[in-house]
Structure 1
Amino acid sequence: MVEQTIIGIDVSRDWLDGFCLPEKQRFRFQNSPDGYARLLEILQGMPDDLKVGFEATGGQEWALWRILISMGINTVQLPPAQIKAFALSMGKRARTDQIDAELIARFMAFRPEAGRALPDEKLQRLRALTVRRAQMVDARKRLSAQISACRKQGVSAELEDMDSILKAFIETQISELEQRIEGVIAQATELSAKAELLRSILGIGPVSVAILLAEMPELGRMTATEAAAMPGLAPMAHDSGAMHGKRVISGGRRSLRHVLFQAGLAAACHNPVLKAVARRMKERGKPHKLVIVAIARRLITIANAVIKTGLPWRISSAA
């Protein structure tokens, strides 16, 4: 039975769909300043222990999140993958904004400890910049594939010039974003200190440092197992009775897992300690992808350790 007042909100581009427990009340307001004002009117009449939550939606929830926190309302952001898994566990396959709002509320009642708090202003800016950089890198990747396909088709020189200009523009934008990211890190004492520690780990470059700082502020306050689980690098057991299934990785924060996999590729080649680990695994016949995931998992546990101890990593350090 739910005793605390919980509100799940599904945030879309145009609408805020809400579901309140234990009253089972529904509401819908526009995702606009006027909609925020109407929502606050409802929330201000609710108990002090009120808790509000919504899924991460690529930034559409940030404006509302800031307003609710400024009003002293306990508000958290929830991982979409966990809500999806919760929905499947309840046999819910249909998805609408109203259904999603109810699922979010019921998930919060089931897992009251889940969710991320609103980061401070500098971390918000860093996260926004790293997300935008990832979007631009993805655009560059798609454009490169398009250019390659067009060349095979023998397109005109005029179209090739247009593609080249667009690609140069994207490259400029990425460089500018990277400079801004470095500036945000340099201006924040805590972020700068953490970045310096992370840079000491061979294999973790500037992009990895920025993503780790932006998407994993908990780094240094977790166990090694928790650190590996957050990006989805911890192997999950699939055993039943006498059957021992293959361990697989799943869940976690996708952007973290992607950047750590890239860092694992670099570390397997250039980090003397982890390169030796990778070589031993390959000699035992382990598949390439499994080796890189294992190296990535070691990288994140090392990163967690150096932030926790405040001591830079050295080649002599145990991996």
Structure 2
Amino acid sequence: MSGVSWGRSTGVYHEMAACGLHDAGLSVSVVNPAQVRAFATGMGVRTKNDMVDSHVLARFAMHAQPMRWSPPAPEARILQALMARREALAQDLQRERNRHEKAEITAPTALVLHSILETIEFLERHLASLQREIDDHIAAHPGLSRLLKYPSPMCGGAFGCGDVSVRFLTI
């Protein structure tokens, strides 16, 4: 099967379609929606609907000739998912720590403090477990290990740029 498909990046929503089209043998390009919108504005297009968007995308693709997109390797996609989950848990943990700090100042009931502390302990355990899964996943895939070698040239020896930063910058 041959053909070309262009689409705007829409967070996680474009990934399944782009992967499916790529797997079907189509050449896929994923472009930044802000670039397409700026292109449309430059053409004097103010209307935004599916019909107009499809024409603007086609004209943008012919003019800009965006690079061909290939999906990340399966092990990289798994690492992306694990890292996204790790980040979500880290944010949840920070929110609970903030709640605990506020609760200590406002002196709520012991039940509330106990609930917050239990949640913090749970999140810390789960975060540590997830970090071990991430480390094991990286160790099990030599390509990821080489890509994520630390210290990374991406950081240029910058202070505060460690394993987690390298993983986010790389994947």
TM-score when scaled to structure 2?
0.73
Q: CA deviation at 1:60?
A: 3.1
Partner of residue 167, structure 2:
210
- Aligned positions of 1:232-271 closer than 5 A: none
Aligned partners of 1:53 and 1:108 also within 8 Å: no
Partner of residue 51, structure 1:
5
Partner of residue 134, structure 2:
181
Deviations 1:222-246 (A, max 9, x none): xxxxxxxxxxxxxxxxxxxxxxxxx
Aligned pair in 2 of structure 1 residues 160, 122: CA closer, same or farther (>3 Å)?
same
Partner of residue 91, structure 2:
138
**Structure 1: how far apart are the matches of 2:28 and 2:77?**
15
Aligned pair in 2 of structure 1 residues 199, 49: CA closer, same or farther (>3 Å)?
closer
TM-score when scaled to structure 1?
0.43
1:61 aligns with 2:20: no
Aligned pair in 2 of structure 1 residues 152, 91: CA closer, same or farther (>3 Å)?
farther
Q: CA deviation at 1:210?
A: 1.4
Aligned pair in 2 of structure 1 residues 90, 126: CA closer, same or farther (>3 Å)?
farther
Partner of residue 61, structure 2:
108
Q: Which runs of 5+ in 1 are unaligned?
A: 1-43, 215-319
Amino acid at match of 1:194: L
Partner of residue 123, structure 1:
76
Amino acid at match of 1:177: L
Aligned pair in 2 of structure 1 residues 187, 89: CA closer, same or farther (>3 Å)?
farther
Aligned pair in 2 of structure 1 residues 145, 182: CA closer, same or farther (>3 Å)?
same
1:195 aligns with 2:148: yes
Aligned partners of 1:66 and 1:118 also within 8 Å: yes
**Structure 1: how far apart are the matches of 2:73 and 2:42?**
34
Partner of residue 152, structure 1:
105
Greater relative contact order (Cα < 8 A, sep 6+): 2
Aligned pair in 2 of structure 1 residues 177, 91: CA closer, same or farther (>3 Å)?
farther
- Structure number with the higher helix fraction is 2
1:72 aligns with 2:29: no
Q: CA deviation at 1:115?
A: 6.8
Aligned pair in 2 of structure 1 residues 136, 196: CA closer, same or farther (>3 Å)?
same
Aligned pair in 2 of structure 1 residues 104, 123: CA closer, same or farther (>3 Å)?
farther
Aligned pair in 2 of structure 1 residues 198, 108: CA closer, same or farther (>3 Å)?
farther
Deviations 1:54-82 (A, max 9, x none): 3141x333333332221112223334554
| Root mean square deviation, CA, Å | 3.3
Q: SS at the partner of 2:17?
A: helix
Number of corresponding residues: 166
Percent identity between matched residues is 22
Deviations 1:123-181 (A, max 9, x none): 11111111222222222233333333333333212112112222222222322222222
Q: CA deviation at 1:212?
A: 2.4
